[in-house]
Structure 1
């Protein structure tokens, strides 16, 4: 496993591209809030890439966080963009706010024990699979991060969210290892 505590997004994407060249993968999935990380990944992965962003209204009602300029760069590289409800969040957050607990949140919280990037790197292929951009059973190089940029790369067998327990983390390629970088949100 590559420890990413001292790596920036560009370095992680470089390492991930090397991994993709040397291993059997079907697709690449990258989480991106503003689109900046997605645009950087699109330069390296092109048509193999699905960029997953937040749903409309995630931060502000009726607003999309992905910047138009980055969406254009991603699509110009041949990659696809998916925005939609987060598997471990949207409905579960509403239930937790009202009832004080949600099983969606429990799954997310357990994955966060490995780092925020791990939670997101498991979630993004589920979302892309639900959106029809990745097939169930695909071996997906999934890249995500903690806050800004990317710090985690996993090899994930994709599944639809309704078949969550068919998802498998096949390999931890890279993630932070130092406790101060394993931020728990």
Structure 2
């Protein structure tokens, strides 16, 4: 398979994959590339322009599987929940990337399905408001530069984390690129 070209745009705010702008920061490349090699199944919700989907596909574990749902898909629909549950219920480790506007509900829906060693992540994540501004301001990712702001915080999912026996996964690395990451113990 041909490798997609990764580049930074002039403003270095967004990752460009083979000419397609993603909503990811360029820093996600090094952090996520290492992690993806640990998982046999990658599940992505909230794909938009598909540039990030291309990145995931080219960097997944050799022989691994990518299951991707677009922003137009209702990832809380009973049929899609069933499909995602089946994808998680495999003998290999799974990583779930929640990136729709319903991140909190997705996290709460999919976390109970995880097996030991599986990881669930959510984008535009902040540990605290202070951390969010420290991370996004140098990237010109905070208002007034962009309409985006943090969409999910630790407080939003702390109860779910505890109930499902999750703990932080490469937390400092991932929060620096606006992802919250949690592994099933």
- Which TM-score band (shorter chain)? 0.3 to 0.5
* TM-score (norm. length: structure 1): 0.34
More strand by share: 2
Higher relative CO (Cα under 8 Å, sequence separation at least 6) belongs to 1
More helix by share: 1
